[in-house]
Amino acid sequence: MEYQRYNCGNCGACVAVCPQQILKLNENQVTKDPGCDECGNCTIVCPLGAFTWKVGHEV
């Protein structure tokens, strides 16, 4: 998934649903470790749409 820092409100909703547990909420940003399995959970729960599918992905 693509993460857009400027769309992120640092709420942690994405962290709660990441099955790979690669997202971490720090003081003022979400960091993403390698290992994303492109499940799309983060795109569903993010209130501001900070996560998007990679270009070319068909939903």
Partner 1 sequence: MKYDVVVVGGRIGGSIASLYASKDDADVLMIEKRQEIGTPVQCAEGTTQSIFKILDMKPDKRYINAEIDGATIHAPDGRAIDLAEVSCENFLDGTGYKGYILDRKVFDKHLAIQAAKAGAEIMMKTTVKDLIRKDGRVCGVVAEHLGETMEIKADVVIAADGVESNMARQAGLTNPNKPGNIGSCAQYELFGLDIDPHQLNFYFGREIAPGGYLWMFPKGEDTVNVGLGVRSTKKTAYQYLNQFISRFKGTTPVELNIGGVPLSGPIDKTYTDGLLVVGDAAGHVDPVTGGGIHIAAFCGKTAGQVAAEAVKKENTSESVLKRYDEIWREKFGKNLEISLKYRNAADKLTDKDMNALAEFLEKNKIENLSKISAIKFLGKHPHLLMLIRDLL
The minimum distance between CB 22 and partner 1, in angstroms, equals: 11
Two tokens, residue 21: 């547990």
Only one residue has tokens 């640092």, namely 10
The minimum distance between CB 56 and partner 1, in angstroms, equals: 18
Binding interface with partner 1 (CB under 8 A) = 9-19, 21, 24-27, 41, 44-49, 59
Distance CA 42, CA 21 (A): 11
Q: Which is nearer to partner 1, 29 or 55 (CB)?
A: 29
Only one residue has tokens 């942690």, namely 12
The minimum distance between CB 10 and partner 1, in angstroms, equals: 7
Could you tell me how many residues make up the chain? 59
